Structure 1
Amino acid sequence: MSAHFVLPPAAAGVNPHRHARTLAQIPLLDPVLYQPHAQRPVRSKMRELDRDTLIMPHAHAWAQLAISTGGVIRLSLADATYIVPPHRAVWVPPGVEHAVTMVETARLYTLYFLPEAYGGGPQARWMAAPDWQQCRVLEASPLLRALVVEMDTGSDEAAPLSPAVVAREHHLSALICEELRRARIMHLGVLLPQDKRLKNLCEAVLQDPTRHERLEDWVLDTGASLRTVARLFRSELGCTFTQWRQQVVLAQAVALAARHWSIAQIAAELGYTPSAFSALVRRTVGMTAAAFLGQGLGAP
């Protein structure tokens, strides 16, 4: 599967934050002031944002990479939300409407990439590949994080950059693109269902995945039989309820890890022993729990 961590949808009349704490909505920094162009095909902006800050839904004609320092961000699309800790980044193709929520206080770096069709040149051809036409969560290497921090974050209202600074930006952006192409893709999570009964159940699990463990207990409020719900999980989501819930558990673990919880604390919070949780992570994503949760990685 090519989906990622998924939380309730942001469109079709569903508010992805209706179970969350009260959010402080803030206006956009006019993205046109950071618009990439042929002379500067990769641009960057940075905002220091408090926990529970929501940047309202928006879209633009260029691709975007969102990465934070020190906190978790939640990027919501029309049908999914991506949970992104500091050691990962999320890619958004051109034209995709999205909103960003700060789960923890952090600096949010947003990089804009000019597609080849808009003047990005041959060096932007990689972005036209089919794999880059969908959102994806990527491992952010220490080099990628260091390069992002070094990019100029001034808007077009700032003083023009000197030729030397522009040349340095070209070198930095070329390395950023190379690191993105080499980055490991995190294929985690499942798509959300269309069936209203199953969607309501999934939202309840996403709100509190530890409330019940058995599907039999979750179906009580759906108005559907256990057999029907189990069939819907397979037909709409391509997996069993247990497999789907495990992905939700991993998403919750990512957010808890950003609070500097130990693996033992995270496991206990999610209803696992440390050994059982570590086995779940290795079985699901093929890496140790410490590597998956970014524990031991240096800060940007």
Structure 2
Amino acid sequence: MRRTSLPPADPLRFAPSPERPLRGKARLMAHNMDIQPHHHAWAQLVFSMAGAVRVSAEQRSLVGAPLNAPNDAEALLACTFIVPPSRAVWIPPGVVHAVTAIEQADLRTLYLHASQLDSTQPPWSQCRVLEVSPLLRELVLQLTVDPDAQPETPADAERERCIDHLIVDELRRARSLQLGVALPRDKRLRRLCEALIEAPARHASLSGWAREVGASERTRSRLFREQLGTGYTQWRSQVLLAHALSMAARHTPMNLIAAELGYASASAFTAMVTRTVGMPPSRFFAEA
């Protein structure tokens, strides 16, 4: 499927400041549309009100180190997060990141001034997935209904300050979830991994992918161990779980999730989930 790439929206238009420390914007994204890799000097929260998105990011900051070319940014993306509307990705200042809509998405982006959360200290110094509570969802919605609007009265300004305070409090309380999938530095293996993330059901075995990308299965298996510290089967299981969680968030029946991900039966899919996370899908999806 042809992909549409968008440049990042003008970041200075929504730059947070001491006077307005939280700024938000809304952006509708069609299926398979992506926002090119970029970074900025403030922290960011990314999630979708509707539709799953994939957020790729580096785990180190580039504050004070401008990128020389777009390819530099693409080479730095080292982890990908596949998140449904009930999850958000926290991105510290200066971290290169890109966003892809797995399906039509109502994307919400929240920018935070450095005065709000200390992004130099754990856990805010690393990218991570956060649970989005119903309260946090509604607060962000209020902040992004009309992001260009300026407070017209002291009462408007006070209301915005109250919303900002509650959002930061909800972020501090939000539960962190392990939904990231590591990406390799090696370009040969990276092409395979990105193709698998796009179409996880295309090949169940590494040999099938090796034939498609033009390399031996032994070479790819070695690269998985060297670059990612795991085997192909284990890494693919994490990708499948991320896709399955996205579909489960839309209340997709288990048998349809299994079929979409290439399993012959719901029981075979259940066995994979149980083997990978130590619990059946019904419990895993409920807890995750």
TM range (shorter): 0.7 to 0.9
Amino acid at match of 1:175: L
> Is structure 2 residue 105 aligned with structure 1 residue 106?
yes
User: Quick one: which of 42, 49, 69 aligns to 1:69?
Assistant: 49
For the structure 1 residues 60 and 291, does the alpha-carbon distance in structure 2 shift closer, same or farther, using more than 3 Å as the test?
farther
CA distance in 2 between partners of 1:38 and 1:140 (Å): 25
1:163 pairs, out of 139, 154, 161, with: 154
> Aligned pair in 2 of structure 1 residues 291, 59: CA closer, same or farther (>3 Å)?
farther
Is the Cα–Cα contact under 8 Å of residues 33 and 155 in structure 1 kept in the other structure? no
**Per the alignment, do residues 91 and 232 of structure 1 end up closer, same or farther by CA in structure 2, a change over 3 Å counting?**
same
Distance, in Å, in 2 between the alignment partners of 1:236 and 1:28 is 30
Q: Structure 1 residues 103, 294: closer, same or farther in 2, change over 3 A?
A: farther
1:221-267 deviations in whole A, cap 9, x for unaligned?
553453x5434322321112211110121233244446653221011
Q: CA RMSD in A?
A: 3.0
Task: Within 5 Å, give how 1:203-282 maps onto structure 2.
Answer: 203-220=194-211, 222-224=214-216, 226=218, 228-257=219-248, 260-272=251-263, 273-281=265-273
Question: How much has 1:89 moved relative to structure 2?
Answer: 0.6
- Please, which of 176, 181, 189 is the counterpart of residue 185 of structure 1? 176
How many angstroms apart in 2 are the aligned matches of 1:91 and 1:294? 22
The one-letter code of the counterpart of 2:238 is Q
Write out per-residue CA displacement over residues 68-98 of structure 1, whole angstroms, 9 at most, x where no aligned residue. 1121122233324322211111111111232
Q: What TM-score, normalized by structure 2, do the two folds share?
A: 0.78
CA contact (8 A) 1:43 1:153 kept: no
- Alpha-carbon spacing, 1:183–1:278, altered in 2? closer, same or farther (3 Å): farther
Letter in 2 for 1:242: T
- What displacement does 1:151 show? 2.0
Aligned pair count reads: 267
For 1:208 and 1:150, how far apart are their aligned partners in 2? 35
Q: Distance in 2 between matches of 1:159 and 1:196?
A: 46
Structure 2 contact 117–124 (Cα < 8 Å) conserved: no
Contact 1:37/1:114, CA 8 A, preserved across alignment: yes
Q: Matched residues in 1 for 2:46 and 2:89: separation?
A: 5
1:149 to 141, 146, 157: 141
Whole-Å Cα distance in 2 between the matches of residues 155 and 225 of structure 1? 50
8 Å Cα contact 2:26/2:106 also seen in 1: yes
- The AA in structure 1 aligned to 2:136 is L
CA drift of 1:149 comes to 1.4
Aligned partner of residue 160 in structure 2, secondary structure: helix
Determine which of 122, 130, 133 is the counterpart of 2:125. Answer: 133
Q: Match of 1:50?
A: 30
Q: Does the 8 Å contact 1:66/1:90 carry over to 2?
A: yes
Question: What is the aligned partner in structure 1 of residue 2 from structure 2?
Answer: 22
Percent identity between the aligned chains? 49
| 1:214 to 1:53, Cα distance in 2 relative to 1, 3 A | closer
Is 1:36–2:16 an aligned residue pair? yes
Moved more, 285-294 or 71-80: 285-294
SS of the equivalent of 1:165 reads helix
2:167 is paired with a residue whose SS is helix
Helix, strand or coil: the match of 1:130? coil
Instruction: Output the CA distance in 2 between the equivalents of 1:294 and 1:69.
Output: 19
Equivalent AA in structure 2 for residue 67 of structure 1: F
Distance 1:235 1:49 in 2: 36
Residues 44/270 of structure 1: CA separation in 2 closer, same or farther (3 Å cut): same
Deviation of 1:282 after TM superposition, in Å, equals: 5.1
Specify whether residues 176 and 284 from structure 1 end up closer, same or farther in structure 2 by C-alpha distance, changes over 3 A only: farther
- The alpha-carbon distance between structure 1 residues 233 and 25, as it changes in their structure 2 partners (threshold 3 A), is closer
TM-score (norm 1): 0.75
**What CA distance in whole angstroms lies between the structure 1 residues aligned with 2:4 and 2:188?**
31
